Amino acid sequence: MSERKTITSTDAVHAGDDKRKPYDAVPMSIVPTSTYSFADTAEIVAYTEGRHADGERGEYGRYGNPTVRAVERRLAALEGTDDAVLFSSGMAAVTTSTLALTKSGQHIVLFQDCYRRTLEFVTDVLARFGVNHTLLKAGDVAGLADALRPETRLVMSESPTNPYLSCVDLERIAAACKTRRTVKSMIDATFATPVNCRPASFGIDLVVHSATKYLAGHNDVLAGVVCGPSGLLSMIRDLRGVLGAVCDPHAAFLVGRGMKTLSLRVERQNATALAVAEWLETHPRVERVFYPGLSSHPSHAVARAQMRGFGGVVSFIVKGGLSGASRMVDACKLARIGPSFGGVETLIEQPAVMSYYEMTTEQREAIGIADGLIRLAVGIEDAADLVADLAQALSA
């Protein structure tokens, strides 16, 4: 695979996967152990000194598991990085990685449109422990150079972002960080997946995913991952062993199984979302559509330059404000109402009600959440069925 190339379906099935598995089974096995036994003291000593014949074996479940390790190797192969560390959720990946790279007195730069809980972690939780931050306006990559300080250790962004699907110029972010030896870049690429964009190939140091979404793909498991160079990842892996946000082997199996169809699913979701976005843009009851594959989207040029497809999430504002959007969402018959995205079932939500209910309209507007905004996360149903469902819901 050339560095910049995104993954193919063959990669999704085979990259990083062991050809020979225990008992010659085709899929990987689940090893549900919390601990590992040793034959005798000599074996413990050999293990501790790194001389054990089975270099892969563990000592205790919090420090490693063969099912988890197999999925980590495949994730690293898909993102084109040295290594990957799997976690119990996307937030566990974000928080553990951030904690591993910063300490009191140091500084993080992040963008206003980062995932809500990532923002909360940096601006509320880390602030309590003396880690400072600068919050840049959404998409303000030009402001990055001025925001960097001698004590800056991390620059965090997403691409595309939620819910407006803005894309940042990854090469510019990587270049700005590389002007300082001590600054690492971290991109949450949950919305992109390695089918559409591989941030490490643009020079980004750490790539994070909520594996709960497209990687696992079936709305049935929570997991997260960080991919990157082995030096940084070994610090993050060690801290995972201390903080304990490990991925259960059953959950890891589900992520690994979902990844086999990642490319098939995401390619279908790319195509359906583009068709739906183009259709919505012509609908008289729709005020505005946000999808990076549309030429009307502010990030279209950046997205076209660095993405193969534009993902499965489409956001749009309907006429009629809060109640107009609620009527439309309630009238959907195929799309299920719920947060999250990246699964095989289409999900629809009104952010003003789902995630920002406690705020007033004015407070929501101040952070850019319109009352009539709807986020549609397309699944793998037929595009025509989805459009028909949205059409009848918009006429409600």
- Number of Cβ within a 10 Å radius of residue 41: 8
Residue in the shown chain whose Cβ atom is closest to ligand PLP: 90
Assess whether 115 carries a catalytic annotation: yes
Assess whether 213 carries a catalytic annotation: yes
Q: How far is the CB of 304 from ligand PLP (least distance, A)?
A: 21
Which spans of this chain sit near ligand PLP (rule: CB under 6 A)?
Answer: 89-91, 115, 158, 162, 188, 190, 210, 212, 222, 224
Sign, CA torsion 83/204/221/240: positive
Strand-by-strand arrangement of the 373-377 sheet: 286-290, 313-318, 373-377, 347-349, 336-337
Beta pairing, strands 286-290 & 313-318: antiparallel
What DSSP designation does 308 have? Answer: S
Q: How far is the CB of 244 from ligand PLP (least distance, A)?
A: 15
Assess whether 291 carries a catalytic annotation: no
Q: How far is the CB of 179 from ligand PLP (least distance, A)?
A: 27
Query: In angstroms, rounded to a whole number, what is the distance separating the alpha carbons of residues 286 and 58?
Result: 55
Sign, CA torsion 300/9/200/247: positive
Q: Closer to ligand PLP at the Cβ: 148 or 208?
A: 208
CA angle 367, 331, 378 (to 5 degrees): 65
Nearest Cα neighbor of 256 from 32, 27, 65, 90 is: 27
Query: In angstroms, rounded to a whole number, what is the distance separating the alpha carbons of residues 217 and 154?
Result: 29
Q: H or E stretch including 162?
A: none
Assess whether 178 carries a catalytic annotation: no
Question: Of 11, 17, 188, 389, which one is the catalytic site residue?
Answer: 188
Q: How far is the CB of 336 from ligand PLP (least distance, A)?
A: 16
Q: Closer to ligand PLP at the Cβ: 213 or 389?
A: 213
Q: Is 75 helix (H, G, I), strand (E, B) or coil?
A: helix
Q: How far is the CB of 157 from ligand PLP (least distance, A)?
A: 11
Residues serving a catalytic function are: 62, 115, 188, 213
